[in-house]
Chain A
Amino acid sequence: MSIKVRIPTPLQKLTANASEIEAEGRTVEELIDNLEKKFPGMKERITDDKGKVRRFVNIYVNAEDIRFKDMEKTKLNAGDEISIIPAIAGG
């Protein structure tokens, strides 16, 4: 089950500058673990050492924030589009 994942600029150095990649996973948690296998270093940028999504990073499943769904356990379906959006501060 392939899911489209939008990678924000600060994480693109881990994906050889790709802004969009395909990954597998039945839940957000699984997806992040699979991302880590493909792109080592990705997981610690997105989650803390307890596996919780960091406080300055949001994950959206089709424009909905997983914090208002089932957090890391949020289920994914084929065709879903995931966006990882961190806070950015430049001005």
Chain B
Amino acid sequence: MNLNEEQIERYSRQIILPNFGGNGQKKLLAAKVLIVGTGGLGSPCAYYLAAAGIGRIGIIDSDKVELNNLQRQILHSTKDVGRDKVISAKEKLNALNPGVEITTHPQRLNSENALDIIKDYDIVVDGSDNFPTRYLMNDACVFLKKPLFHAGVFRYEGQIMTIIPGKGPCYRCLFPEPPPAGLVPSCQEAGILGVIPGVLGLLQANEVIKYILNMGELLVGRLLVCNLLEPGFRIVKVSLDKDCLVCSEKPKITKLIDYEQFCQMKR
């Protein structure tokens, strides 16, 4: 596949980058990325990946746009309140870049559908907002050996790690099991400043691009943590857990689990 003139012009500022070039652009155009959640993390991540020219982007979200989403979920506009997030997201992404094929999945990821949805993509971005979906996605990506780009936020704080099954630790090597219901503050009690998932969602997009182009150093085996009220990021080491429940040689978890949903938004 050769780049056409429109593509060469559209992507010229990145094509001229060292180590990028026309071949780098072709790799992006050939990539299939699933973004789980079009919220605070998924919005900026999807926007920049579409802008960069990822060939096919899948977006999965079962929610409708609410007014209180708009201070951080920048894919959606005021006129979209009440509409399906995936529809609103697809419109914005295609307005920005009609060359990207957007597939919408207006549903919630669960143990029944996860493997079937994920298998058609090369890469999965975790932009979800709850532990059950995060653990489900980790386990599904380990089973299918798909790279998973994880990030999470809480108030002014964020964490990000890149998971390449077979090469580095998974989310359960880092945190073996989710907290039980009631032990962590629920989403709506916690609060979030929009730029925090903005920063982390873009770091996820950056990791995805580095992975596809095979350049730079990924956050594999490393957790980047930040409190954006403070200057600077910190990185801690994450090791492969030889007793990992899901990615070790003798895993105890061999099928997907639907954990209790304890972080649902109040309606």
Asked whether any CB of chain B lies closer than 8 Å to the CB of A87, the reply is: yes
Q: How many A-B contacts are there with CB distance less than 8 Å? A: 95
Say whether A87 contacts B225, CB under 8 Å.
Answer: no
Say whether A58 contacts B174, CB under 8 Å.
Answer: yes
Say whether B178 contacts A56, CB under 8 Å.
Answer: yes
Asked whether any CB of chain A lies closer than 8 Å to the CB of B121, the reply is: no
B188-230 at interface with A (beta carbon < 8 Å): 190, 192, 197, 223, 225, 227, 229-230
Say whether B178 contacts A8, CB under 8 Å.
Answer: no
Q: In the complex, what residue of chain B is closest to A6 when comparing beta carbons?
A: B234
Chain B interface residue bracket vs A: 35 or more
A24-75 at interface with B (beta carbon < 8 Å): 45, 54-58, 60, 63-65, 67-68
Say whether B177 contacts A88, CB under 8 Å.
Answer: no
Q: B159 contacts which of A54, A60, A64, A85 (Cβ < 8 Å)? A: A85
Per-position contact with A for B161-197: 1 when CB-CB < 8 Å, else 0?
A: 0000000000000111111000111010010100001
Q: B185 contacts which of A10, A67, A68 (Cβ < 8 Å)? A: A10
- Asked, given contacts A89-B129, A90-B190, whether A83 binds B234 with beta carbons under 8 Å apart, the answer is yes
Say whether A65 contacts B41, CB under 8 Å.
Answer: no
Asked whether any CB of chain B lies closer than 8 Å to the CB of A79, the reply is: no
Say whether B227 contacts A9, CB under 8 Å.
Answer: yes
- Asked, given contacts A83-B234, A85-B236, whether A91 binds B157 with beta carbons under 8 Å apart, the answer is no
Say whether B197 contacts A91, CB under 8 Å.
Answer: yes
Of B23-31, B77-85, B106-114, B237-245, the stretch lying at the interface with chain A is B237-245
Say whether A56 contacts B179, CB under 8 Å.
Answer: yes
Say whether B153 contacts A90, CB under 8 Å.
Answer: yes
Asked whether any CB of chain B lies closer than 8 Å to the CB of A77, the reply is: no
Q: In the complex, what residue of chain A is closest to B201 when comparing beta carbons?
A: A91
Say whether A19 contacts B175, CB under 8 Å.
Answer: no
Q: A91 contacts which of B127, B178, B225 (Cβ < 8 Å)? A: B127
- Given contact pairs A87-B152, A91-B39, A91-B40, enumerate 11 new A-B contacts (beta carbons under 8 Å): A9-B227, A10-B154, A10-B185, A63-B235, A85-B236, A88-B158, A89-B134, A90-B154, A91-B127, A91-B129, A91-B151
**Residues of chain A at the chain B interface (Cβ within 8 Å):** 8-10, 19, 45, 54-58, 60, 63-65, 67-68, 83, 85-91
Shortest beta-carbon contacts, A-B, top 9? A88-B154, A91-B129, A87-B175, A55-B177, A88-B152, A91-B41, A9-B157, A55-B176, A90-B153
